[in-house]
Amino acid sequence: MSWDLLIFYYLAIVMIVSTVLAVFSRNPVYTVLLVLIMIVHQAFVLLTLGSDFLTAVQLIVYAGAVLVLFLFVVYLINLRKETQLNIFIKRFSLSFIIFLVSMFFLLKNLGVLVALKPTFPAYLPFDLEKNSNTWWIATYLFTNYLLQFEILGVILLVAIFGVVFLIRKVREVG
């Protein structure tokens, strides 16, 4: 069995297990953390396939932005049971030990995961010898979908104005 296949099976199994646990978890904080584990492993699957751009997008957009937003929403709702200090202290030591073991294995195997070159490269409808895949993706998106990007930019700008307006209104009232 090759290393590529072994690493793929590891990543796939962890993604499946963390997704199933996230679906059946009753604690919303654990659910967000399990989804984070799934997203990071999915990014490594994309990296092993040679798609460095999609790996970066996966980590920045989903793990960095969307899950942080989900975590803030989870903490904004009323979680009286989860915010009690004695429950946190009881579970902290076990969680910290699991975190240390996970970080040890991640750092130990990070070099292997980054150095992987796929033995089964994906079929690409363009030539990577001329330009990088990031250049090809950007060219395709900004030539075929420029209007959608412009509309998305306007929607985000309106959302930012809405947030600023709501914050100013709350400050005036308070």
Residue 115: both structure tokens together: 């150095």
Confidence of residue 10 (pLDDT cuts 50, 70, 90): very high
The domain in which residue 29 lies consists of 3-122
Confidence of residue 17 (pLDDT cuts 50, 70, 90): very high
Verify that 115 and 133 share a domain, yes or no.
no
Number of domains the chain is built from: 2
Mean pLDDT, the chain, integer:
78
Q: Is 32 exposed, middle or buried (0-12, 13-18, 19+ CB in 10 A)?
A: buried
Verify that 64 and 17 share a domain, yes or no.
yes
Verify that 34 and 117 share a domain, yes or no.
yes
Q: ∠ CA(42), CA(44), CA(46), 5° rounding?
A: 75
Radius of gyration of the CA atoms of the chain, in A: 21
Q: What is the mean pLDDT of residues 68-86?
A: 62
Verify that 118 and 129 share a domain, yes or no.
no
* DSSP string for the chain: --HHHHHHHHHHHHHHHHHHHHHH-S-HHHHHHHHHHHHHHHHHHHHHTT-HHHHHHIIIIIIIIIHHHHHHHHHHS--TTTT-HHHHHHHHHHHHHHHHHHHHHHHHHHHHHHT---SSPPP-SS-TTTS-HHHHHHHHHHHHSHHHHHHHHHHHHHHHHHHHHHHHHHHHH-
The pLDDT of residue 14 is: 93
Q: What is the mean pLDDT of residues 136-151?
A: 83
| 173, pLDDT greater than 60 | yes
Residue 166: both structure tokens together: 């709501």
Verify that 118 and 142 share a domain, yes or no.
no
The 10s digit of each residue's pLDDT in 51-60 is 888 888 888 8
Verify that 131 and 106 share a domain, yes or no.
no
| 79, pLDDT greater than 60 | no
More confident residue, 27 or 118: 27
The pLDDT of residue 86 is: 57
Verify that 28 and 89 share a domain, yes or no.
yes
The 10s digit of each residue's pLDDT in 80-139 is 555 555 555 666 677 778 878 888 887 887 777 777 766 666 666 667 678 877 787 788
